[in-house]
Structure 1
């Protein structure tokens, strides 16, 4: 089904301008239209074109923003959560199965927020789901928490760059995935032995299948069928071409379907990934703890760099102080000369030498003052 021709769709830049003029975030637009936030971002950047019923709903929403007198297009109100917030309809994925209530929408840049507040908002929005994603990626609970914490520590150290990024959530997610898939973890003593598998047999089977996939296939499958990104967004985040990403996705689905025929349908696989991710009690540390750890790491490496620089300067100064100021030729090795016996080191005298020494000493003390050689 295509979009109705009676509702024109503005250019990508105009779509973003209309959304910002209506004081709406991408998450709010995605909730009203019924798509993922990444899809709205792709529509506004021009990477993809809205179509079908979702495209019609998006066009009606933009049309309502174009006419100030018209009421904004909204979908039926969602039921309120236990915390009193209005729940937004979002795509069920491994990201959406949180253990605790999450913020209803992604943090948007705001002049009133301090850097720490903006970082805490991004962390509260992304960290709970990102821990579960990295668990599916690595199969280790502690490594999943460590990967997310290290990714946000890096983000806090480079916050001026992350804050102006078009999608800071994707920036942090890519950093966490890279750390979780690093091959150097196998040399760490704490990661040489496997962790206890999930309690449910079906969860163990799915996690075993995921861990047998190559890391690039596993990451592509998780981003597309778990997180819910489109194929172009998945290709961009994995730094691969769209055809290569499509091949990885197809091969990964075939490998999962060969071991688990019930998950041949992408929708069923999407649902099972969410269930396995939400079954584990994985909690991320609090944002102030992450920021404090990042600042401590930065201070440690700064001091280590200063100490190393001082050591190099001291070693250079000592070398300059003790180095010779003129050329000293090396001493040549000794050579054996024919006809001259080598000098013998002094040692114990023989009986003949002792007798001669005794005779000389007695003759010098009691004999004439001058010794003359005797003729024979």
Structure 2
């Protein structure tokens, strides 16, 4: 395997790890130191974006720390983290983020630019298969298992990806040369992963935030439920029926103008005393 994309742990480190039991944090840091630098370069080949490559590796290791007991017992912890980083890096939702709508500056070398451009023109499943097989150095069954595809489908993707890549860069027809060039392109960029302590603290911080958010949502749901129980009616109240039109009732007519006789009567009534005619006023004795 090429040093640019994959590295082997030293034998002294393996013997020391087997001799002294490691705490979960120490085991995580050892896995991070072994996988993270090469994994950032691999995700850069998948995305062509330096910041997204670092973010993908950081999120993958945060997810691994959240599920560390299961990851630690996995037969291939490095493969577990690599699959998580690839899935995050190739997510189609990144194109909706404002910071990833514009392309990043390409590599300085013209040959590296041509190879990276040809690689990014491949469909994501074909690109991932090519990086795993020709870049990381996995065999065909391992590549098929990691990409969750059958072995014949993986072989078809690999052959198609090589044909498309060779059509744009004819010098890479040799798989050995393609393997070396992928490592060179990835190693030419200054790609550094954050410190393992930063990743673990970020994972724990995100877990606390999610826990607080879940508690807040639960309290809100309980409060709404209690309010609904207190304000809800305890008995059935039938709705008021709609009004009905009654037939046969004459419409109310507005009064018309007064006649001359009515106007004269109104004037005489207004001119008399308020107590009525004179003959009805009581006389004192």
Query: Paired residue for 1:282?
Result: 191
- What is the aligned partner in structure 2 of residue 207 from structure 1? 116
Shift of 1:192: 1.2
Which secondary structure state, in structure 2, belongs to the residue aligned with residue 366 of structure 1? coil
> In the alignment, what sits opposite 1:138?
47
Gapped regions of structure 2 (runs ≥ 5): 278-285
* Paired position in structure 2 for 1:92: 2
| Distance (whole Å) between structure 2 residues aligned to residue 238 and residue 150 of structure 1 | 19
Give matches, 1:143-162, under 5 Å: 143-162=52-71
> Larger helix proportion, structure 1 or 2?
2
Which has the bigger relative contact order, CA under 8 A and spacing at least 6?
2
Deviation at 1:340, TM superposition (A): 3.6
Alignment TM-score, normalising by the size of structure 2: 0.86
In the alignment, is the contact (CA less than 8 A) between 1:152 and 1:290 conserved in 2?
A: yes
Number of the residue aligned with 2:179: 270
Give the CA deviation at 1:258.
0.6
Q: Give the distance between the partners of 1:239 and 1:245, measured in 2 at CA.
A: 9
In 2: Cα distance, 1:326 partner to 1:225 partner? 73
The alpha-carbon distance between structure 1 residues 93 and 112, as it changes in their structure 2 partners (threshold 3 A), is closer
CA deviations over 1:208-260 (Å, ceiling 9, x no partner): 11111111100000000000011111111111111111111000000000111
Partner of 1:104: 10
**Alignment CA distance shift 1:350-1:229 (3 Å):** farther
Alignment match, 1:182:
91
**Counterpart secondary structure, 2:154:** helix
Matched residue of 2:201: which SS? helix
Q: CA 1:233 to 1:366, structure 2 compared with 1: closer, same or farther past 3 Å? A: same
In 1, the alpha carbon distance for the partners of 2:179 and 2:268 equals: 114
Is 2:151 aligned against 1:242? yes
Relative to structure 1, the CA distance from residue 269 to residue 320 in structure 2 (aligned partners, 3 Å threshold; closer, same or farther) is same
Kindly indicate whether the alpha-carbon contact (under 8 Å) linking 1:131 and 1:282 is maintained by their aligned counterparts in 2: yes
Q: Aligned Cα RMSD in Å?
A: 3.0
Query: How many residues are paired up?
Result: 269
Structure 1: give runs of 5+ residues left out of the alignment. Answer: 1-90, 369-376
Q: Partners of 2:268 and 2:230 in 1: how far apart?
A: 59
In structure 1, what is the Cα distance between the partners aligned to 2:115 and 2:146?
24
